[in-house]
């Protein structure tokens, strides 16, 4: 789900949580699932509740979030909170926004289409790939990462097939039909498109790799991205989650608040740059000036730092903004001054809302709304 990714911008008993964590490669957080983190109540109460009927047309700057804990997307006013919600399908994960105002939402049941201006459902596109029964939760089958081509004619969605390799499905946005499928790696958390639309990149969490797919021929190449190695396989904590495409065409993939993997898809070479947050990292976004934003989920595995948002300048200088509890993904306002960090999180410890970060001042406030929100976009 980022400012330069409108074509994006993927939890019992202790024994059960730990077993699930080994499968995902992400440790459970300490807070109970579905409960606010410490301090959330006081912060959340500062946002006034919307009054009266929602507006007929969605206001500019409204945040749209995918409610992974429900079957809806929620429209959040950046000051007042929830405006409206629209049913889309079970456990929506990623979403992306077209220039025509239509949002495309990857759910367990298919790709839902929503008119964001009128907040109306336009139906759902079924997947071609069979991914088992429709379920919810972090291991569910169905769509995860999702992105639009720059011209809006093609939609790319990474479909998770439990216990096997995933698939990139290509959807014609005019006919709303799946026109092609391409095998990719395991659990495609994220999907991104190159600036010129010539390639599509699926970040495959459980296979430690990125699949690059040519948009014209749909031929695929696999690049391992594992700056810590692949030891531990499915039980490893040290896997790729989300990526962004930098202006020079390279992909940036953050790991553990320590290492930023820089993949050149032209050569397959992976360089590594130092990061400083020392926290397990998930969502990422780029602002228009090239600033990288990375969501830190907290002390998982060998990482000891708390939840945070890393603000990394193009020259590599970093500021770390502490967050209250785990978060998942991040979207940025049109002016690049505000980040919205979703509280959904794919593990235990999530909360129902978004942390609003003033990127100039480094201050934060909580905006309640949505149900375990994961993917997010800011509407123009």
Closest CA to 346 of 290, 300, 291, 293: 300
Return the pLDDT at 205. 97
Distance of CA 258 to the CA centre of its chain: 20
Query: What is residue 361's three-state secondary structure?
Result: coil
Query: How far, in Å, CA of 240 to CA of 256, rounded?
Result: 10
Closest CA to 26 of 240, 225, 188: 240
Return the pLDDT at 348. 87
Q: From the first residue on, what is the mean pLDDT of each consecutive set of 10 residues in the chain (380 residues)? A: 39 32 36 35 38 84 98 97 98 98 98 98 98 95 98 98 97 98 98 98 98 98 97 91 98 98 97 98 97 97 95 98 97 97 93 98 97 98
Is the distance from CB of 377 to CB of 64 less than 8 angstroms? yes
Query: What is residue 148's three-state secondary structure?
Result: strand
Sign of CA pseudo-dihedral 333, 337, 338, 339: positive
Which distant-in-sequence residues (6+ apart) come within 8 Å of 105 by Cβ?
66, 73, 88, 89, 92, 94, 95, 111, 112, 113, 114, 146, 375
Return the pLDDT at 43. 36
Return the pLDDT at 52. 67
Task: Spell out the alpha helix ranges (H) of the chain.
Answer: 14-24, 40-44
Return the pLDDT at 228. 96
Query: What CATH topology corresponds to 14-378?
Result: Methylamine Dehydrogenase; Chain H (2.130.10)
Write out the two tokens for 65: 């979030």
Q: Is the pTM of this model over 0.75?
A: yes
Parse the chain into domains and list their residue ranges. Answer: 14-378
Reported as a single tens digit per residue, the pLDDT across 285-339 is 999 999 999 999 999 988 999 999 999 999 999 999 999 999 999 999 999 999 9
Sign of CA pseudo-dihedral 352, 143, 140, 226: negative
User: Alpha carbon of 134 to those of 110, 112, 284: distances in Å?
Assistant: 10, 15, 28
Query: How far, in Å, CA of 216 to CA of 263, rounded?
Result: 21
């Amino acid at each position: 789900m980022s400012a330069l990714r409108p074509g994006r911008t993927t939890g019992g008993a202790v024994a059960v949580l730990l077993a699930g964590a080994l499968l995902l490669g992400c440790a459970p957080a300490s807070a109970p699932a579905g409960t606010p983190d410490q301090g959330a109540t006081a912060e959340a109460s500062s946002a006034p509740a919307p009054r009266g009927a929602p507006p007929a047309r969605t206001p500019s700057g409204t945040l749209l979030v995918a409610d992974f804990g429900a079957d809806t997307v929620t429209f959040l006013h950046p000051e007042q909170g929830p405006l409206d919600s629209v049913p889309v399908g079970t456990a929506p994960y990623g979403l992306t926004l077209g220039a025509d105002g239509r949002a495309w939402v990857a759910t367990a049941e298919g790709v839902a289409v929503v008119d964001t201006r009128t907040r109306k459902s336009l139906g759902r596109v079924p997947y071609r790939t069979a991914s088992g029964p429709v379920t919810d939760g972090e291991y569910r089958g169905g769509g995860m990462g999702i992105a639009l081509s720059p011209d809006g004619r093609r939609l790319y969605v990474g479909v998770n097939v439990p216990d096997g390799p995933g698939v990139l499905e290509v959807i014609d946005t005019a006919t709303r039909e799946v026109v092609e499928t391409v095998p990719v790696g395991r659990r495609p958390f994220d999907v991104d498109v190159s600036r010129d639309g010539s390639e599509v990149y699926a970040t495959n969490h459980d296979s430690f790799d990125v699949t690059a797919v040519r948009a014209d021929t749909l031929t695929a190449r696999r690049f391992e991205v594992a700056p810590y190695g692949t030891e531990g396989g499915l039980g490893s904590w040290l896997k790729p989650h989300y990526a962004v495409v930098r202006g020079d065409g390279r992909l940036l993939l953050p790991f553990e608040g320590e290492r930023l993997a820089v993949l050149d898809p032209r050569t397959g070479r992976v360089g590594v740059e130092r990061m400083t947050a020392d926290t397990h990292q998930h969502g990422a976004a780029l602002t228009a000036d090239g600033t990288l934003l990375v969501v830190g989920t907290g002390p998982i595995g060998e990482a000891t730092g708390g939840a945070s948002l890393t603000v990394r300048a193009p020259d590599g200088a970093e500021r770390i903004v502490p967050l209250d509890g785990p978060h998942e993904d991040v979207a940025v306002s049109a002016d690049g001054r505000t980040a919205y960090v979703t509280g959904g999180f794919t593990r235990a410890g999530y909360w129902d809302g978004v942390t609003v970060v003033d990127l100039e001042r480094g201050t934060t406030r909580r905006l309640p709304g949505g149900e375990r929100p994961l993917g997010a976009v800011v509407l123009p």
